[in-house]
């Protein structure tokens, strides 16, 4: 590998890891804002989304520069393409964390107490672990860990369905709880989507390492 390409790929890896750390932090704080009713954390995540967007644009530029200047082939080309996809997925996770933070802020400001279904906490734990594992799989090019993330996604989907059932029953029993249940349903959907993005990253790792496209594999 030419030394300049090697240098630029290493810089790209560091830039992606920085973005990943920012997104992980935003996700953690958004969920904590909801469960612990911490408005200041929710506001930090909402404001901080701009920095994530800016970083995503910068990383995309670095990927395009490598493609234009070095015209990588084979493994190096797969690496850059995978990083482009991961970059986009991470930016989307940042957006979803911001959405969770916005719903948390609404619930904190407008309602004194909200009964949060335990499945939401469980979803948050699993989704965060999936995001962390997908990034670790990326760092270490570990396809075994990446495939574990794919399996974990089914557990998140199951809890997402459970939450919808719990909240629908709650609204049917007490229509006055609609104003709190609807935002919680949105949070559940956002957490489910964060898990989907972690799954996408894991699939990108498999593509990067093995050259295997599994994104549209049969269930």
> Does 18 fall in a domain?
yes
CB count, 10 Å around CB of 178?
A: 12
Q: How many domains does the chain have?
A: 1
> Does 217 fall in a domain?
no
Per the structure block, which two tokens stand in for 110?
Answer: 């407008």
Output the pLDDT for position 216.
60
| DSSP string across 96-138 | HHHHHHHHHHHHHHH-S-----HHHHHHHHHHHHHHHHHHHHH
pTM: 0.93
> Does 105 fall in a domain?
yes
What are the average pLDDT values for consecutive 10-residue runs of the chain, which has 219 residues?
A: 84 94 97 95 97 97 93 88 95 98 96 89 94 94 95 93 95 94 97 97 92 68
> Does 215 fall in a domain?
no
Q: Tell me if 37 sits within 8 A of 105, measured CB to CB.
A: no
> Does 154 fall in a domain?
yes
CA-to-CA dists, residue 123 to 4, 65, 79, 103, 161, angstroms: 43, 38, 30, 16, 11
pLDDT tens digit sequence for 52-109: 999 999 999 999 999 998 888 888 999 999 999 999 999 999 999 999 999 999 999 9
Output the pLDDT for position 73.
84
Domain interval for residue 192:
3-210
| DSSP string across 65-82 | HHHHHH---HHHHHHHHH
Q: Can you give the CATH number for the domain in which 93 is found?
A: 1.20.58.220
């Amino acid at each position: 590998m030419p030394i300049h390409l090697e240098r630029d790929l290493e810089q790209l890896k560091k830039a992606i890891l920085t973005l990943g750390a920012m997104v992980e932090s935003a996700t953690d704080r958004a969920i904590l804002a909801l469960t612990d009713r911490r408005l200041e954390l929710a506001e930090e995540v909402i404001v901080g989304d701009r920095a994530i967007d800016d970083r995503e644009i910068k990383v995309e530029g670095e990927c395009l520069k490598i493609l234009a200047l070095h015209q990588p082939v084979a493994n190096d080309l797969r690496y850059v393409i995978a990083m482009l996809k991961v970059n986009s997925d991470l930016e989307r996770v940042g957006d979803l964390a911001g959405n969770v933070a916005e719903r948390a802020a609404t619930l904190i400001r407008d309602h004194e107490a909200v009964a949060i279904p335990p499945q939401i906490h469980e979803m948050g734990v699993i989704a965060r672990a999936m995001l962390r594992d997908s990034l670790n799989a990326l760092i270490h090019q570990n396809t075994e860990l990446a495939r574990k993330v794919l399996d974990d996604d089914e557990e998140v989907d199951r809890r997402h369905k459970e939450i919808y059932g719990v909240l629908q029953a709650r609204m049917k029993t007490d229509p006055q709880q609609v104003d709190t249940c609807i935002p919680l349903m949105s949070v559940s959907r956002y957490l489910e989507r964060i898990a989907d993005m972690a799954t996408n990253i894991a699939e990108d790792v498999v593509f990067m390492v093995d050259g295997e496209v599994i994104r549209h594999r049969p269930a």
